[in-house]
């Protein structure tokens, strides 16, 4: 899902730069290969968050289903289930568009992992819950509105 | 981290249905402590990885917007009863946890 990360890993220059950083103690080995996408997670609007995960203009898709309550009883715990039948799904990202930081998580699927993720998220207010699917080098998206009566971000 | 992660993995046809419940406060860093009025520092799981019989099936990056005591469900086709599921997580402070279960 993170094209930048993949490019860094692929290029020899990237690998050696990372190796130098690890040797210099700047990057711990476990962090070097799996840097958490800080820019995307700290983006304060959905546009920047989408850019951060490499989804600049995803196509709307009816092959992505978002199962979430129409009205969330508790904004701190909103169950969200994303299912997609798009062939070659590599990853699913979940965003809550009106959260102070919209990106909730990116889920990379490998091996026989199916296009399915179920989790529970915090929502600060009524908003679209958006799923972005990366499949076959393209991105697809769908969204569902979830009404929130009591916001769950604690702010 | 006081309580271990719970993993339940069952077969439905040729698809393993894996449900994981992690134990973690998942503090966003934007919540104020009711008593002190101070911001509770950010403390949340950032990465969750899962393998089945050693092969990676899930690599998730998450943030503070995932609810406290994160729940994660995923499905893996081609897994079999008796296969070993291992789930690891790392949080923003570098703390880790790991658990394993056998697909039933």
Kindly list the domain boundaries of chain B, sorted by start residue: 6-102
- Which helix (H) or strand (E) is A17 found in, with range? helix A12-23
- The token pair at A88 is 């070659």
pLDDT, residue B55, reads 97
Q: What is the pLDDT of residues A35-44, one digit of tens each?
A: 899 999 999 9
A151 or A50, which is more confident: A50
Closest Cα in chain A, distance from residue B101 (Å)? 17
- Which helix (H) or strand (E) is A106 found in, with range? strand A103-109
| Mean pLDDT, rounded, of chain A | 85
pLDDT, residue A152, reads 73
Q: What is the pLDDT of residues A118-141, one digit of tens each?
A: 999 999 999 999 999 999 999 999
Of the pLDDT bands very low, low, confident and very high (cuts 50, 70, 90), residue A3 is low
Of A106, A120, A154, the CB nearest to B71: A120
Q: How far is CA A123 from CA B21, B25, B65, B70, B80, in A?
A: 20, 16, 7, 14, 36
pLDDT, residue A1, reads 60
- CATH class label, A44-148: mainly beta
Of B28, B47, B73, the CB nearest to A154: B28
The nearest alpha carbon in chain B to A81 belongs to: B73
Q: Is the pLDDT assigned to residue B88 strictly greater than 80? A: yes
**CA angle A7–A12–A14, rounded 5-degree value:** 55
Q: Is the pLDDT assigned to residue A117 strictly greater than 60? A: yes
Which residues from chain A sit within 8 angstroms of residue B37, using beta carbons? none
Closest Cα in chain A, distance from residue B4 (Å)? 18
The residues spanned by each domain of chain A are 1-35, 44-148
Q: Is the pLDDT assigned to residue A23 strictly greater than 80? A: no
Catalogue the E-assigned strands of B1-104: 6-12, 15-21, 45-52, 55-62, 71-77, 84-91, 96-102
pLDDT, residue A32, reads 36
Q: How many CA atoms lie within 13 A of A17 on its CB side?
A: 8
The nearest alpha carbon in chain B to A108 belongs to: B59
A31 or B95, which is more confident: B95
Of A117-121, A143-147, A149-153, which gets the smallest average pLDDT?
A149-153
Average pLDDT over residues A98-123: 98
Question: What percentage of chain A carries pLDDT values higher than 90?
Answer: 72
Residue A39: helix, strand or coil by DSSP? helix
Q: Is the pLDDT assigned to residue B18 strictly greater than 70? A: yes
- Please give the biggest Cα pair distance in chain B: 53
Q: Tell me if A113 and B68 make a contact (CB, 8 A cut-off).
A: no
Q: Tell me if A99 and B72 make a contact (CB, 8 A cut-off).
A: no
Which residues from chain A sit within 8 angstroms of residue B89, using beta carbons? none
Of the pLDDT bands very low, low, confident and very high (cuts 50, 70, 90), residue A4 is low
Q: Tell me if B30 and A154 make a contact (CB, 8 A cut-off).
A: yes
Pairing relation of β-strands A138-148 and A59-60?
parallel
Which residue, B73, B79, B33, is CA-closest to A81?
Answer: B73
> Which CATH number, 1.10.260.40, 3.40.50.11540, 2.40.50.90, 2.60.40.10, labels domain B6-102?
2.60.40.10
Of A29-33, A59-63, B1-5, B71-75, which gets the smallest average pLDDT?
A29-33
3-class SS string, A83-108: EECCCCEEEEEEEECCCCCCEEEEEE
Return left, alpha or beta for A106; rule: phi > 0 is left, psi -120 to 50 is alpha, else beta.
Answer: beta
Of A104, A112, A116, the CB nearest to B63: A104
pLDDT, residue B104, reads 94
């Amino acid at each position: 899902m993170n094209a930048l990360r993949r490019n860094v890993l692929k290029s020899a220059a990237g690998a050696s730069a990372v190796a130098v950083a690890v040797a210099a103690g700047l990057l711990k080995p476990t962090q070097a290969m799996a840097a958490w996408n800080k820019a995307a997670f700290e983006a304060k609007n959905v546009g920047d968050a989408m850019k951060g995960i490499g989804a600049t203009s995803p196509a709307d898709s009816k092959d992505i289903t978002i199962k979430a309550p129409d009205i969330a009883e508790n904004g701190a715990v909103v169950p969200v289930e994303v299912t997609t039948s798009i062939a070659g799904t590599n990853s699913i990202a979940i965003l809550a568009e009106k959260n102070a930081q919209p990106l909730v998580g990116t889920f990379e699927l490998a091996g026989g992992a199916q296009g399915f993720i179920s989790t529970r998220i915090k929502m600060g207010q009524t908003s679209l819950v958006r799923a972005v699917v990366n499949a076959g080098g393209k991105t697809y998206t769908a969204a569902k509105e979830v009404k929130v009566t009591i916001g769950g971000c604690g702010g | 981290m006081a309580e271990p992660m719970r993993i339940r993995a069952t077969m439905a046809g040729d698809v393993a249905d894996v449900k994981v419940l992690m134990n973690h406060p998942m503090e966003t860093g934007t919540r104020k402590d009711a008593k002190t009025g101070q911001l509770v520092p950010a403390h949340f799981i950032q990465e969750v990885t899962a393998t089945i019989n050693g092969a990676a099936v899930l690599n998730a990056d998450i943030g503070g917007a995932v609810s406290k005591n994160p729940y994660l469900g995923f499905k893996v086709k081609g897994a079999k009863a008796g296969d070993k599921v291992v789930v690891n997580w790392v949080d923003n402070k570098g703390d880790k946890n790991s658990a394993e279960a056998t697909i039933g």
